[in-house]
Amino acid sequence: MVIYTDSKAQWDCHIQSQTDGPLPDNSYIIDIGTHDLAEVRWWAAILAEGRGWQATLVRDGKEYYPLWECHLNSSQFRLHHCAKLPPSISTLKLEPPSSTQAQEYLFNLARYHDAFDQLISALAATMTIPLHNRFGARITLPLPKPGRLPIAHRKTELTYRNQIPIPDEIPHYMAVSCTSGVVTSCLFSCFWEPDIPCNLVSQWSNLSMRQIFPSLIRSKKYNAIVCAMAQRRPNIAPLWLGSLITGLLPRILQVCRSYLPTVYLETVTWTGSPQSFMDPQYHRLAPVQKIDGVQLIPREDEFRLLFITDVDSQTYRNPPLSPYRPFGYVDLRNTSIDVRLHYSCNHQLRYYCWNWKCEEGQVSIDFGMSYGLKAVESSMEPNTLRSTGLKLAWMVVGSTYTTLYKLLLGNSFWGPIYRTLVSICSWRRGLRPANPPGEDLDKEEIFDDTLSELATRNIFSWTFFSEGTMSEERELWKHEWLELLVDRNDGAESSESSPSEVEDVANSEQLQHVQKWRDNVVAE
């Protein structure tokens, strides 16, 4: 339910002739150009000081407020319009419009000022509002800039006609925005690189997060950051633009220095942008290496198989906490029975739908607004972004398996990665720091292993608490990054046989029965 309060922006300026711009008292006249009194009242509530409107949802006797609700601390706006006001404004009673009508009011303003590009940018900004509370960041919106309006020759409505959302699409944008962690996963995924293992995250990220981005933030060159992220992940670019508009961007870059978000596989399909090594596109036929008669598969493929074969979601209901892949290989004989049975099957993940759990146990199946369409991540040309699911995309122009490496810059294995960082390869081409990378670098900042430690512990904890440790990897679990997990396992170090060893015996016996059954079926 939405209601108006008594707080309103000044809305009796229909006889004024000024265009949008600051007045001597630091207020602004906003020309909304409408003859509709209900539309004027709506804008007066939106631009009011404090709470000009209130939206609530009542469930089980409790009131809930929308995640996107925000109000102005102080109103500096006066409305210029063409509607005829009644003799007594105080006695005027108007009801708030429906969501469809409110969207039409927004379109009217954008059409009047030929500013549909700003309308779409405002939608992107709105999608980031729920993150402000999570990250403890204030919402700071830019003030209007004076200009001569309308500017008819821009024709923004025609230019952005394929990006302008229709009412039926708004709930889908709301779902992306309000689903916990989805927008965070999108923004932070721009730093993720599929070829970087979990133990090298810091070396991959430190130069940009601790040197380049802070320098750009201090000089307030936010556009350079948005452009760099748009180049790296075009489909996520609108969210970076939105975070810039609402003032969230500096806080994001501060948080990402010591935080890795939870991975949401749905986001890959919803945005058409990669998120982690568990993305459907990375599921494959596990490559097998034979060393001295021992069959080894990459640990990352073991993780994918554990997730995709747990059809009942009993053990691996959610993907790993870290988007970065685990390093190394595992002995196929020591993996779970499901991994051994399916490593050669080439199973794939495929998104089908999103289910809404409704009242009384009902389930609503939601195929989304881009079901069956393939997102285009590599191009931002308007003629390639015709599908509804991509409307927001054009808003903005191996190691050994028993050792965990902490590599130094002088190591030959690390050299190519370091040179990639220093040259700001590919996605960092849009950044222009004051000093070239490599000059005046703080060695403590560059060598800080916080993110590598966090990513490694998060990724290995995914299997540790269900599978335990394997005997051939005892040395691995003595590393300072992982020993904390072992210490928390209530005496796992002192037991003669770990949970994984006990389970391995059971799995081996079960596998023998399954293989015998399969042989009998083939024989028949």
Mean pLDDT score, 349-353: 88
Query: How high is the pLDDT of residue 23?
Result: 63
Q: What is the pLDDT of residues 141-183, one digit of tens each?
A: 988 876 655 555 678 999 998 889 888 899 999 999 998 889 9
Query: How high is the pLDDT of residue 466?
Result: 76
Q: What is the pLDDT of residues 297-316, one digit of tens each?
A: 999 999 999 999 998 888 89
pLDDT above 80 (res 443): no
Q: What is the pLDDT of residues 273-293, one digit of tens each?
A: 999 999 999 999 999 999 999
Token pair recorded at residue 217: 């933030």
* Nearest CA-CA partner of 187 in 266, 69, 273, 111: 273
Do residues 467 and 499 lie in contact, with contact meaning Cβ atoms separated by under 8 Å?
yes
Q: What is the pLDDT of residues 77-128, one digit of tens each?
A: 889 898 887 777 666 788 999 999 999 999 999 999 899 999 999 999 999 9
CA 429, CA 341: separation in Å to the nearest integer? Answer: 45
Least confident of 251-260, 263-272, 344-353, 442-451: 442-451
Query: How high is the pLDDT of residue 379?
Result: 33
- The kind and range of the H/E element at 422 are helix 415-422
Residue 328 phi/psi, 5-degree rounding, is 85, -175
pLDDT above 80 (res 431): no
Mean pLDDT score, 199-217: 90
Mean pLDDT score, 404-429: 37
Q: Where are the alpha helices (DSSP H) in 274-384?
A: 299-309, 337-342
Read off the DSSP letter of residue 311: T
Residue 79, strand partner residues: 30
Q: Is 468 exposed, middle or buried (0-12, 13-18, 19+ CB in 10 A)?
A: buried
Q: Are strands 28-31 and 289-291 parallel, antiparallel or unpaired?
A: unpaired
Work out the mean pLDDT of the chain and round it to a whole number: 78
59 pLDDT tier (thresholds 50, 70, 90): confident
521 pLDDT tier (thresholds 50, 70, 90): very low
pLDDT above 90 (res 448): no
Least confident of 29-43, 84-98, 355-369, 420-434: 420-434
* Nearest CA-CA partner of 245 in 346, 378, 129: 129
Residue type, 441: L
Q: What is the pLDDT of residues 361-376, one digit of tens each?
A: 889 898 887 544 433 3
CA 123, CA 116: separation in Å to the nearest integer? Answer: 11
Residue 476 phi/psi, 5-degree rounding, is -60, -45
Query: How high is the pLDDT of residue 447?
Result: 73
CA 1, CA 48: separation in Å to the nearest integer? Answer: 19
Query: How high is the pLDDT of residue 224?
Result: 93
Q: How many CA atoms lie within 13 A of 524 on its CB side?
A: 6
Buried b / exposed e along 437-450 (16+ C-beta atoms within 10 A): beeebeeeebebbe
Cα 214 to its chain centre, rounded Å, is 21
Mean pLDDT score, 402-430: 37
113: left (phi over 0), alpha (psi -120 to 50) or beta: alpha
Residue 72 phi/psi, 5-degree rounding, is -80, 135
CA 457, CA 483: separation in Å to the nearest integer? Answer: 9
In this structure, is the dihedral angle defined by the CA atoms of residues 229, 231, 236 and 239, taken in order, positive or negative?
A: positive
Query: How high is the pLDDT of residue 515?
Result: 58
Report CA Rg, the chain: 28
List the domain boundaries for the chain: 1-97, 113-280+362-401+407-438, 284-347+452-523
Q: Which residue has the higher pLDDT, 126 or 477?
A: 126
* Nearest CA-CA partner of 286 in 306, 316, 310, 263: 306
Query: How high is the pLDDT of residue 518?
Result: 55
Do residues 13 and 81 lie in contact, with contact meaning Cβ atoms separated by under 8 Å?
yes
- No. of helices (H) and no. of strands (E), the chain: 20, 12
Token pair recorded at residue 410: 């002088």
Q: Which residue has the higher pLDDT, 256 or 149?
A: 256
Q: What is the pLDDT of residues 213-252, one digit of tens each?
A: 999 999 999 999 999 999 999 999 999 999 999 999 999 9
Q: Are strands 2-4 and 53-55 parallel, antiparallel or unpaired?
A: antiparallel
Mean pLDDT score, 129-152: 81
pLDDT above 90 (res 522): no
Q: Are strands 28-31 and 77-80 parallel, antiparallel or unpaired?
A: parallel
Cα 12 to its chain centre, rounded Å, is 43
Least confident of 47-51, 198-202, 398-402: 398-402
